[in-house]
Amino acid sequence: MDVLVLIDKLDDLVHNAKAVPLTDQVRIDREEI
């Protein structure tokens, strides 16, 4: 796979990740990666 495609997929995962309450962190499901 092209590196740019992988970066784009990772970017989508981060933007669609669940926010952790009272922090600026997000959680990504390990199986989605």
Average pLDDT, the chain: 88
Evaluate whether 18 touches 26 at the Cβ level (below 8 Å): yes
Domain ranges (residues) in the chain: 3-32
Q: pLDDT digit string (tens) for 1-33?
A: 699 999 999 999 888 888 888 988 888 888 877
In this prediction, residue 19 carries a pLDDT of 87
Alpha carbon distance 23, 33 (integer Å): 22
What is the C-alpha to C-alpha distance for residues 32 and 30, in angstroms, rounded to an integer?
5
Model confidence, pTM: 0.59
